[in-house]
Amino acid sequence: MLVMRRLGYQCPPNYNPGDFFINTLAIVPGAEEECRNRVARICYAFKVSEDGRAMEKEVELCSDEASKASPSDMEDTNRNEMAFKYKASWFAQFRAVVARSWTANLREPFVIKLRLFGTVVFCEELPIFLREHQSRMYRTDVYFIGKTVAEIPFFILSPILFTAIAYYMIGLNESFERFLVCNVIMVIVANVSCSFGYMISCMASTIAMALAIGPPFVIPVMMFGGFFLNNDSVPVYFLWLKYISWFYYGNEALMINQWEDVRKIDCGRTVGCPPNGDAVLDSLNFDKARIPQPLFLLLADFLTNLGVLVQNNKTRDLMLLLVLMAAFRFIAFLALYVRAYRRK
């Protein structure tokens, strides 16, 4: 910095020194000769400076020591480097990644707004991750867990804020307990969607690719989630799509939470109005009673044996949403790990 200042290249106040160095030393198309002369002048000034001479002596000293080292010493050095692959402990890496990710999230609120609709965080930061991981700055699991932990508050507060504003404006069940349950369901569904976004972004190499392959996966599970097609109208050969749809489990849980134990619906003179909440659930082919599907029968029995009682479909829906969230995040981690492993 001192050498460049002496040559008249002063970094402006409140300007990133790294950007200033890049702009000063870059070769600009159309002015190659002028840029190369400037770079050569700066390099020569640093070489003859006190810092440049000290660095040159240190390099010569290291070269002499390396040339005198025996092959066994070199093997020991390589073995020690392999033993200490990373520059910090697991928890130190984790704290650094979480702190950096949290700071980046606060500095870029527009990116957070985009991530609420589609999580592409791993796509946009993949080159940075691969470069820093190859430099042994942090492990793959540390990076993945740290990034997801830093974003958890946003994917908890946003659904709660949305539900708090819309719930009573829409006129849903006035019970405060139902309101709290609705918040829990919305938070879980939002985090399952976030986990699916993690999975897609870890599989894709670019944001454009992630946005291209995401909708073909989302649209089928949305179609069989109960919004556009009655639950009982799903063809047998498409049932598997319903059972991996977080829209289906979230929709059913919200419907049961809204209409369960509603004894009477005041419809006035409306024709064809369902008389109670059970009639509404029957018309949608949702059932508040526990009817475990064959695919998840073993899971329900396993959780029951552990002391987690599956009392009704709402409880089952919440548990399976958590299973989907864990599965999506595990697949996302595996995809990211494979990418990092292939880069080695």
- The CB density around residue 217, as the number of other CB atoms within 10 Å, is 12
pLDDT band at 341 (very low <50, low <70, confident <90, very high): confident
**Do 206 and 318 lie in a common domain?**
yes
**Do 59 and 127 lie in a common domain?**
no
The pTM assigned to this predicted structure is 0.68
Residue 155 has pLDDT above 90, yes or no: no
Say what the pLDDT of residue 111 is: 57
Alpha-helix residue ranges (DSSP H) falling in the chain: 2-6, 17-25, 32-48, 50-68, 71-83, 90-107, 109-117, 121-124, 126-134, 140-170, 176-203, 207-223, 239-243, 246-259, 277-283, 294-305, 313-343
Residue 182 has pLDDT above 90, yes or no: yes
Scored b (16 or more CB within 10 A) or e, 103-112 reads: eebeeeeeeb
**Do 317 and 204 lie in a common domain?**
yes
**Do 145 and 206 lie in a common domain?**
yes
**Do 163 and 75 lie in a common domain?**
no
For helices 109-117 and 140-170, angle between their N-to-C axes, nearest 10 degrees: 80
3-state secondary structure of 166: helix
Residue 294 has pLDDT above 60, yes or no: no
**Do 101 and 66 lie in a common domain?**
no
Last residue of a domain, one of 27, 56, 83: 83
Scored b (16 or more CB within 10 A) or e, 155-171 reads: beebbeeebeeebeeee
Compute φ and ψ for 49, nearest 5 degrees: -75, 170
pLDDT band at 25 (very low <50, low <70, confident <90, very high): confident
**Cβ-proximal residues to 221 (8 Å cutoff; 6+ apart), any chain:** 241, 244, 245, 246, 247, 248
Tokens of 278: 């059970």
288 and 312 in contact (C-beta within 8 Å)?
yes
**Do 109 and 24 lie in a common domain?**
no
Residue 165 has pLDDT above 60, yes or no: yes
**Do 234 and 335 lie in a common domain?**
yes
d(CA 320, CA 298): 12
pLDDT band at 211 (very low <50, low <70, confident <90, very high): confident
Number of domains in the chain: 2
121 vs 45 pLDDT, higher one:
45
CA distances, 146 to each of 9, 102, 241, 303, 327 (Å): 39, 9, 31, 29, 18
Residue 311 has pLDDT above 70, yes or no: no
Residues 214-242 have a mean pLDDT of: 81
Last residue of a domain, one of 83, 99, 115: 83
Residue 308 has pLDDT above 70, yes or no: no
pLDDT band at 83 (very low <50, low <70, confident <90, very high): very low
**Do 39 and 17 lie in a common domain?**
yes
**Do 77 and 184 lie in a common domain?**
no
For helices 50-68 and 32-48, angle between their N-to-C axes, nearest 10 degrees: 80
Residues 56-83 have a mean pLDDT of: 60
Q: Nearest-5° angle of CA 225, CA 230, CA 233? A: 105
Residues 244-272 have a mean pLDDT of: 84
Say what the pLDDT of residue 295 is: 46
3-state secondary structure of 4: helix
pLDDT in tens, 85-144: 677 888 988 998 899 888 877 776 655 555 544 456 677 778 888 888 888 888 899 999
Least confident piece of the model among 17-26, 268-277, 281-290: 281-290
**Do 57 and 102 lie in a common domain?**
no
335 vs 86 pLDDT, higher one:
335
Domain region containing 333: 90-343
pLDDT band at 81 (very low <50, low <70, confident <90, very high): very low
Least confident piece of the model among 32-46, 192-206, 227-241, 313-327: 227-241
d(CA 51, CA 317): 66
**Do 69 and 131 lie in a common domain?**
no
Residues 16-21 have a mean pLDDT of: 80
Compute φ and ψ for 43, nearest 5 degrees: -65, -40
